[in-house]
Structure 1
């Protein structure tokens, strides 16, 4: 990734990074006051990880080891994907997903100008929900997204993964469970929201998803704020309008059904 912009705030520095030829950004906020508590990802956090789509997972794995960055060995996880996992220096979970399943690996040309010999795609932001029906409705109705794929995982007590992206995308199958939609998704230059739902958690009164600002402080969208405001009013979803004078942007702040903080700004070409 490359540094795109930085903004100095009262409480710290905001750095905005992105990959070449991709509009989606990762924002890192460094607080001025040192935090003695290290980040620890927990299974009841409403944020899990982010994932990078790559051409050659074996080659990327080799380069990561050359940089002395701990990383798990690549493995084909059922019919989900060809995966490998690592962490950043503050223990945030990062997943690599090859654009094809292991058995469908296609040789790709090395690009020596990039640290990993290729230009990855910031492909997934993974969050969690206690109620997948309400959560999917929220992202479709309020954020204008569309459900493109669903995957069932029979690991531990089991969970389901839902993948939402732009409604302008056209997957190969209208069946959200179709296997061909999975490799298709990993081959898009697009950031999807992946939602994990633990089976039966919606019936467990003791299970509560927590918002840990050290993991993911908020998710940002760009769009038409007037349309968004009308949607929020229609659904009786509380929100706060602000003017960000430093970045010269109007903002709307609200939360998802699982208390994930969301910030929306006006889309500008």
Structure 2
């Protein structure tokens, strides 16, 4: 089955990335050379690939095309307690509607990370030791689970992910009073707990999937202008996936922007 294998970022240097992703979050360093450093919880799934470039610092905006990565956890309160013990600024976790129990933090380069419990508030699990456990409070319970992009043209977005990339829409999560709806894509053909894509019953199940999903935040107001990341600024630079028959493919930021940003 096809799967996402890499999430790419342009950065000016690698300062503090090892301390954050390897030491603090417990990711393994999959590869490191003069031009790139790669981190992952599970190298057989998605990795974070930071590539050195001559770029200005990253500054996130509320309607940027790229928003965040998501990491799902068995026990969010336990993870937050650990992070605060290390001096990391983390807001109090909260149950966001019938979507998930979550909080957010920022990495040393300004990239946003959502921490999302695999069960709703009160449905935490105790991380289980397994043969690959590293004795780390985050890594032993975490999945690199989401790449979140903002779009305003839903027709173009669905055509691209469903017809161009052959991905499957797995969940639709309306947040109508906030002006957006969330759409989650993967290549997996697992049967959903409930065939209704809007069913709340699917959501905790979705957060426990061991592979990464593309999350689209569709802004329903046509007046919302989605901003592209400038190529001379640090930022998201696309993703790679292992296809069914064509090996590993890279989807560049340029291709995504052309297809999805009006």
SS at structure 1 position matched to 2:260: coil
Q: How many residues align?
A: 228
**Match of residue 128, structure 1, among 150, 168, 172:** 150
* Mapped pair 1:160 → 2:162: no
Cα 1:251–1:176 shift into 2, 3 Å:
closer
Question: What TM-score do you get using the length of structure 2 for normalisation?
Answer: 0.78
- Preserved CA contact (<8 Å) 1:48 1:127: yes
Matches within 5 A, 1:138-157: 138-154=160-176, 156=178
Cα 1:168–1:250 shift into 2, 3 Å:
closer
Distance 1:66 1:122 in 2: 22
Name the Cα RMSD after superposition. 2.6
Cα 1:189–1:85 shift into 2, 3 Å:
same
Q: Deviations over 1:213-237 (max 9, x none)?
A: 52201222232676x9xxxxxxxxx
- Preserved CA contact (<8 Å) 1:129 1:209: no
Distance 1:208 1:21 in 2: 32
- Which consecutive segments of 4 or more residues in structure 1 shift more than 3 A? 106-112, 249-254
* Mapped pair 1:211 → 2:229: yes
- Structure 1 residue 21: Cα displacement: 6.2
SS at structure 1 position matched to 2:203: helix
Partner of 2:78: 59
Partner of 2:122: 103
Distance 2:212 2:84 in 1: 26
- Structure 1 residue 58: Cα displacement: 0.3
Partner of 2:32: 6
**Gap regions ≥5 residues in structure 2:** 1-26
Distance 2:63 2:250 in 1: 29
SS at structure 2 position matched to 1:15: strand
Partner of 1:232: none
* Larger-gyration structure (1/2): 1
